[in-house]
Structure 1
């Protein structure tokens, strides 16, 4: 193994950190240099993430290779440890893909709307990658704060009344969530005496009965912090407004940021409160299932209640988060595998939609929709501060409206879960597993579908119907029934990132078999984390360990 390959696990953190630090002293006269550094960093991150995914998917017996990177060669119980398995590698690839697309899109004009855009974006990538790689709760909090600090600047990037108002709400909510995070972590540490995730999983089964209520209370408070970031109802009321107000490149990477909360819930619930957690096994699963279903319902109502495309995309993020949280609450390996496939598909689709919306609305009369009474009722007729500059961007490419329409159709099919794209495959995999709960135990139990599972099935189907109705209405308004519309001037550098993300979704559809096998293997590892715990806590020189 080469020296560079030994340190791949830390490069997704170091690379954007170094790139962002280099960009800070560069003034606006060197904007092209900053953009070049940012795009080169994102490209390198994508290559590194793919290499880590290949390594994580390399089977060793019945388990995948879990790479453990110990900083300073300290034991995992005392030092900083980074862990790469199938799930974390998947999240790194999604982050790098969305980050690359958003950065390329931003070079058209959005990077010039405020200071330090590229540096903030790199720190955002650093925080996201660190949150997916870290193996202990303390550093998870650190990386959460890094990505949130960067996201505050990105949410306000471009100024404007709408962004400032939504950004201040976003900052206040996330500061409160950070406080909950600290309280929950402190309670868990006070009972267990460690914050390393693998060590927690090993110690929790032996926690005395008298201390277990404090442990579970701390876990519940910690879970609330994660659910705020995931956008679960009623904790995610801020999400549609904030994402709709953000600039398109920022909103595209925010689509991945909402998945950090889902990732943390998925990772910790199955690692700490899985089947081997003793009396705490399955803690919180019922609440996740019920909360996820309610979040899906709230998101479905939201997409029907708005005729504003950015708000529709923000509500779609809530539907995606609710679906994933409910799937985690179902507690079945096959459902989790389908949920991971859905996570990848929905993250790419929502990111593409946020970028596409700015192109679709370019050239439209900003106040035209105010003629609709419903728009006035929901307050969506605010003037877009950036609209006046949109007409000066890009050059007209052939068949502009046809390309934009085809991209919007793909996004609608992916989010609604209609065939033949990956959104349909993901929902079919989840719902077929819900209706065949073979993992419940006996054959008699497997033949009975719980009432909550029927509720999940109904919520997923009805939310898909709501998305079809909302996107059809939006498509008619924006692509068909617009009188005297000026064809928007769209540059190749703007439409290429949208096509890149959609082609990834199409690739997931064409290669659905291999991709689904990877997701199911990742789900099996999550539900049986023995290899994860063993490799992280293994002594120096053990299998899967990498030392700096």
Structure 2
């Protein structure tokens, strides 16, 4: 029998589903009521996520099996029944999703939720898809929640209409349909080889595979990995991401920041669970390719950051740098690097979401012809029309607040002290250099790319900040509502708290990593005792 607390695991899926269904029945003109229901739902989701985070972290780090919370839907045991699994990693992602959900939804109440129909329903369905993907314990239901999330994201991307969004939406839909097709092919091939799609059962069966079946499963894993790397925005499958994210509305783009991390999450989950050192012939499969793909993505994103001529595209390229950093860290195959990488995941996601929300507010200061005129003045000067310098002019509070937030985003994304971005990058580099073995050349290249990407981000953000705040041609002060500025400040405040509380946060990340590097604990925690057995052991009838 399960206690009431155990049933909380399914709340992050059921609550947004019910909320979205209820709002679908309401007249579209009752936006205030829908907004109230949406805010109440996301607040409850955050509370539940924090409780689940505490449940996942209730056990000591040296007993990773005991912190698993497994929920059998319909009380059917795995591997045949649908199962939800709560551990430190999934609880962390649930909490991060809830935080971004509240920030984006509050921001949208200023005007974006009125820009098109069914915004609140689509928003709740996206939350449901994300939460389900983080909690599910089998590949089939991962595909189901993956599709729910994508279907909602299609509507959110097109929300507000416009030629740019429609054009970006067509490319986005096409690339994600391709990813879904690859997902189906890879999952079908994996099921044909192993006879199961339960992740724990897959990890149990992989070590016993013969060489021929192992080759087929490696092919399935490569196809699945391609699908999720497309979602994470890894080169060369990321050509769609900067344009798509730049075209989306501010609240939608802020939520898309966590969607790209879903691909990273799945790669991390599958790679550490199914291709660990206990995986026999497939131990460590694909690690070098992940490292190479991550480094190329960092390089591509760095070039994109430097080449960006608009702030939204700069934010989109920053997503590529973030995803490449995480995949590259995973590709090192070092548990010591993954802890700081998870810290970086949280910090960069919060910073990028805040930046996407801030972009629209900063863009309100820009005159439609300001970009062309600024480039012309920079190239040819402006000697004919000398403007006398004003001394002692007070900076309006709105401009000061926007400028301070922009500087905070620049420090976080560039990885400069004293904020959490620096702590994360320094932790990853320190872990790479502390290896007992000879440091590989690829490790030095990754460290160089992490440094170069930070420098490029600093240059690009400084250039953009000067153009937007210092050398503005139009001296008008934009109208910014409290309801728009509050989510940006809240996300940046969370990054500051992450910096101040870096010790406990890093301890949590390291405990999470230790659990990920103990796949047998996951297997025994999810499967019934008579099903789990030892790695490679035949299952009883």
TM-score, scaled to structure 2: 0.93
Contact 1:364 1:485 in 2 (8 A): no
Contact 1:364 1:486 in 2 (8 A): no
* 1:6 CA drift (Å): 2.0
Contact 2:367 2:474 in 1 (8 A): no
What is residue 469 of structure 1 aligned with on the other side?
459
Quote the Cα distance in structure 2 between the aligned partners of 1:373 and 1:418.
28
Query: Are 1:237 and 2:275 an aligned pair?
Result: no
Counterpart of 1:69 in 2: which secondary structure?
A: strand
Q: Deviations over 1:126-162 (max 9, x none)?
A: 0000000000000000000000000000010100011
Q: Deviations over 1:152-210 (max 9, x none)?
A: 00010100011000011000000001000000001111001100000000100000112
Contact 1:255 1:351 in 2 (8 A): yes
**What are the residue-to-residue correspondences of 1:408-487 with 2, within 5 Å?**
408-438=406-436, 445=437, 448-487=438-477
Give 1:168's match in structure 2, choosing from 167, 170, 174: 170
Counterpart of 1:210 in 2: which secondary structure?
A: helix
Quote the Cα distance in structure 2 between the aligned partners of 1:373 and 1:289.
38
* 1:373 CA drift (Å): 5.4
Query: Are 1:399 and 2:397 an aligned pair?
Result: yes
What is residue 383 of structure 2 aligned with on the other side?
none
Contact 1:338 1:427 in 2 (8 A): yes
Counterpart of 1:269 in 2: which secondary structure?
A: helix
Give 1:511's match in structure 2, choosing from 496, 501, 506: 501
Quote the Cα distance in structure 2 between the aligned partners of 1:398 and 1:372.
22
* 1:334 CA drift (Å): 1.1
What is residue 199 of structure 1 aligned with on the other side?
201
* 1:371 CA drift (Å): 3.1
* 1:4 CA drift (Å): 3.3
Contact 1:163 1:245 in 2 (8 A): yes
Quote the Cα distance in structure 2 between the aligned partners of 1:501 and 1:374.
36
Quote the Cα distance in structure 2 between the aligned partners of 1:463 and 1:36.
41
Contact 2:365 2:468 in 1 (8 A): no
Q: Deviations over 1:481-515 (max 9, x none)?
A: 10232111111111000011111110100000000
Query: Are 1:329 and 2:314 an aligned pair?
Result: no
Contact 1:75 1:539 in 2 (8 A): no
Q: Deviations over 1:300-323 (max 9, x none)?
A: 000100120000000000000000
Structure 1's 460 and 44: CA in aligned 2 closer, same or farther, altered over 3 A? same
What is residue 225 of structure 1 aligned with on the other side?
227
Quote the Cα distance in structure 1 between the aligned partners of 2:143 and 2:114.
31
Counterpart of 1:470 in 2: which secondary structure?
A: helix
* 1:372 CA drift (Å): 5.2
What is residue 381 of structure 1 aligned with on the other side?
none
Counterpart of 1:180 in 2: which secondary structure?
A: helix
* 1:290 CA drift (Å): 0.4
**What are the residue-to-residue correspondences of 1:293-312 with 2, within 5 Å?**
293-312=295-314
* 1:63 CA drift (Å): 2.0
Contact 2:365 2:474 in 1 (8 A): no
Quote the Cα distance in structure 2 between the aligned partners of 1:504 and 1:2.
34
Quote the Cα distance in structure 1 between the aligned partners of 2:266 and 2:369.
41
Q: Deviations over 1:307-354 (max 9, x none)?
A: 200000000000000000000101111100010000000000000000
Counterpart of 2:278 in 1: which secondary structure?
A: coil
What is residue 491 of structure 2 aligned with on the other side?
501
* 1:363 CA drift (Å): 3.5
Query: Are 1:10 and 2:14 an aligned pair?
Result: no
Counterpart of 1:211 in 2: which secondary structure?
A: helix
Give 2:345's match in structure 1, choosing from 343, 346, 351: 343
Contact 2:358 2:402 in 1 (8 A): yes
* 1:28 CA drift (Å): 2.8
* 1:29 CA drift (Å): 2.2
Give 1:527's match in structure 2, choosing from 507, 513, 517: 517
Quote the Cα distance in structure 2 between the aligned partners of 1:173 and 1:500.
33
What is residue 546 of structure 1 aligned with on the other side?
none
The gaps in structure 1 that reach 5 residues or longer are: 376-396, 439-444, 543-548
The alignment of Structure 1 onto Structure 2 pairs a total of residues equal to 513
Counterpart of 2:29 in 1: which secondary structure?
A: helix
Quote the Cα distance in structure 1 between the aligned partners of 2:252 and 2:244.
10
**What are the residue-to-residue correspondences of 1:17-32 with 2, within 5 Å?**
17-32=17-32
Counterpart of 1:364 in 2: which secondary structure?
A: coil
Contact 1:131 1:144 in 2 (8 A): yes
What is residue 536 of structure 1 aligned with on the other side?
526
The gaps in structure 2 that reach 5 residues or longer are: 378-394, 533-541
Indicate the RMSD between aligned Cα atoms, in angstroms. Answer: 1.7
Q: Deviations over 1:77-122 (max 9, x none)?
A: 1011000000000000110000100000000000011100010000
Counterpart of 1:168 in 2: which secondary structure?
A: helix
**What are the residue-to-residue correspondences of 1:33-432 with 2, within 5 Å?**
33-60=33-60, 62-64=62-64, 65-371=67-373, 399-432=397-430
* 1:26 CA drift (Å): 1.5
Counterpart of 1:83 in 2: which secondary structure?
A: strand
Quote the Cα distance in structure 2 between the aligned partners of 1:305 and 1:474.
11
Quote the Cα distance in structure 1 between the aligned partners of 2:306 and 2:289.
26
